[in-house]
Amino acid sequence: MAPKKNPAGLKLVPQKTESVVDGTKIHLDGTDVTGETREDLGEQSLALVVKKFTLGQLVTNALDIKAIVQKKLELYQGKDYKGDIAEAKKDRATLNKAEAQLNQDRLDYEKKWLEPFDAFKVIVNETRNEIKDVVSVIDSAIKAKEQAEKDDKKKLIQDFFDKQGITLFTLDSIFKNEWLNKTASMKSIEAEITARKDKINSELAILDRLNEPEAKAHYLDTLDLSSALSMADRLKANRQKLEAAKAYVEPTEEDTAESQGGEFDGQLGEEEGFDAGEDEPEETHEPATGPQPAPEPAALPILSYNLTIGGTKPKLFALMEYMKANGITYKRIEVSEGDGY
């Protein structure tokens, strides 16, 4: 059976599937559940046709009543009324009663006048609601058919992806919803998947040269080369910080010996105002040229010097340890900003 077109231009393709929407079974091949061919809906068959329309006519004496009231208005109009007050009160009561009756008559006849139109309005609104119900059922059936077509197309895309032998990333990680549109051909989708595969392999090769496994793993999660390169830079910077921290080790014996040697002695001599060629104070002794036995501690006086010592941090720590080990006391001297240190 040839495909049929409805007034909206939708093609109903013959098929075996039936849809159940809100308890109603419908086929999309132009038949209902009984197999009978449904009649095509035409715009003319759904257009309202007015078979008879007669404008109503209501003949009353409303104009005559209006004329009488206008005459009474002329009688009582003005700031100073000179007539009989009792008569005026009677006229007021009569006019109020007439106004109320006229309004009620107008409401009664308006209701009768609109009765045919109100019946027509009810029928039209009921028909409109039923049309909306039918449209909702058809809309659900169309959407179900379109979703089934999209599911079939996605399966074709998945089959092509699986045949490429790709294991490092999934189809969902690169999938585009527009691929499911009817305007997107399988040829163009396959070409796009192939190009994306080649691009990802190329970017993985770049990350392999950096030798940063964590950055490569991050790329496989995000497929974002810029983000992966940024991570590689951070990893490299952190590694350099750790290597620099390892450089601060405990002083070696060589550093300790150097801190005990001539540098300290030279600074000591400069601080006291004498050089190596002058006689030292009585409390000191000329250094011997060869190894000498250590003097008795009781024979040596305790001397005090104010020194400014410079050196690397490991060497200064080594000096402090040396002084502690040899019973040399020291204390920190607080220096004010004006002293020039």
Decide if 26 contacts 10 (C-beta within 8 A).
Answer: no
Q: Give the position of tokens 């300290």.
A: 264
Rounded CA separation 127/121 (Å):
10
pLDDT of 90 strictly over 80:
yes
Decide if 219 contacts 207 (C-beta within 8 A).
Answer: yes
pLDDT value of position 273: 44
User: For the chain, what percent of residues have pLDDT higher than 90?
Assistant: 27
> Which of the four pLDDT bands, split at 50, 70 and 90, describes residue 50?
confident
Beta pairing partners, 4: 12
Residue (of 203, 206, 196, 199) closest to 171 by Cα position: 196
pLDDT in tens, 239-265: 888 888 887 655 555 555 555 554 444
Q: Give the position of tokens 């003097």.
A: 295
- Residue-wise over 170-207: b if at least 16 C-beta within 10 A, else e? eeeebbeeebbeeebeeeebbeebeebbeebeebbeeb
How much is the CA Rg of the chain, to the nearest whole Å? 54
> Which of the four pLDDT bands, split at 50, 70 and 90, describes residue 37?
low
pLDDT of 33 strictly over 80:
no
What does the block give as tokens for 1?
Answer: 């059976």
> Which of the four pLDDT bands, split at 50, 70 and 90, describes residue 289?
low
pLDDT value of position 309: 82
What does the block give as tokens for 289?
Answer: 């040229």
Most confident stretch, 1-15, 61-75, 103-117, 321-335? 103-117
Average pLDDT on 54-80 reads: 80
| Angle in degrees, CA 129, 133, 136, rounded to 5 | 135
pLDDT value of position 160: 95
pLDDT of 238 strictly over 60:
yes
pLDDT of 282 strictly over 70:
no
Decide if 215 contacts 228 (C-beta within 8 A).
Answer: yes
Question: What are the C-alpha distances in Å from 235 to residues 84, 210, 217, 266?
Answer: 111, 11, 13, 47
Rounded CA separation 186/192 (Å):
10
